[in-house]
């Protein structure tokens, strides 16, 4: 049972990933953070895909039902995985383009900023650095303008670009909560 954030703020769910999970027997349980819906309390995993949380920062900062459901799930050691926009929401705060800070879930020691923009673009080969229910080796891509101004803790992946150039360690792991800017495409 995988609770998946699905709405205008979390729109980057790759169909082939969802279909692969379903072929393996997973039940997909959609919920809308923007409508302040709770993730299913009986979910075995919660997935926050990428999207455009920056367009809805005030709404997300005030989505108390959604926030409480994820914080409670983390306390129960439910696996919570965020990619790109989902990763940013798992952090402490997101700073908008005008420098205003919006509190997020605080499940990762992460602060991201749209005020300090820098393009990160490219395919990545990812090597998992923690014992989690993700492929040990995977392919993904990054496409974001935000900058992580605080990103402290155990990294999730070691990354290399498509030419094999070392991109360093990316993402974070905090217990059963983890994520990165990389969108997973396929196991390597």
pLDDT tens across the length of the chain (188 residues): 999 999 999 999 888 889 999 999 999 999 999 999 999 999 999 999 999 999 999 999 999 999 999 999 999 999 999 999 999 999 999 999 999 999 999 999 999 999 877 767 678 999 999 999 888 999 998 886 788 999 999 999 999 998 999 999 999 999 999 999 999 988 87
pLDDT at 154: 97
pLDDT at 118: 72
DSSP 25: T
Max CA distance (Å), the chain: 44
Q: Please state, in angstroms and rounded to a whole number, the distance separating the CA atoms of residues 118 and 40.
A: 35
Q: Which of 38, 57, 73, 84 is flagged as catalytic?
A: 84
The overall pTM is greater than 0.75: yes
Question: Rounded to whole angstroms, what are the CA distances from 85 to 55, 76, 106, 110?
Answer: 11, 23, 14, 12
167 is catalytic: no
Q: Which of 59, 73, 55 is nearest to 103 (CA)?
A: 59
């Amino acid at each position: 049972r995988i609770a998946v954030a699905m709405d205008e703020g979390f729109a980057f769910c790759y169909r082939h990933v969802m279909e692969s999970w379903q072929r393996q027997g997973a039940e997909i349980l959609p919920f809308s953070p923007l409508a302040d819906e709770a993730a299913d309390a009986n979910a075995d995993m919660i997935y926050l895909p990428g999207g455009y949380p920056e367009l809805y920062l005030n709404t997300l900062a005030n989505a108390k039902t959604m926030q409480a459901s994820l914080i409670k799930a983390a306390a129960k050691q439910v696996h919570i995985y965020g990619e790109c926009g989902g990763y940013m929401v798992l952090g402490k705060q997101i700073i908008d383009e005008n420098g205003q800070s919006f509190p997020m879930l605080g499940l990762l020691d992460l602060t991201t900023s749209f005020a300090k923009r820098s393009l990160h673009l490219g395919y990545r080969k990812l090597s998992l650095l923690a014992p989690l229910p993700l492929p040990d080796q995977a392919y993904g891509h990054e496409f974001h303008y935000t900058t992580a101004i605080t990103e402290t803790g155990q990294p999730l992946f070691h990354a290399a670009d498509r030419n094999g150039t070392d991109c360093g360690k990316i993402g974070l792991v905090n217990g059963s909560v983890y994520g990165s800017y990389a969108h997973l495409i396929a196991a390597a």
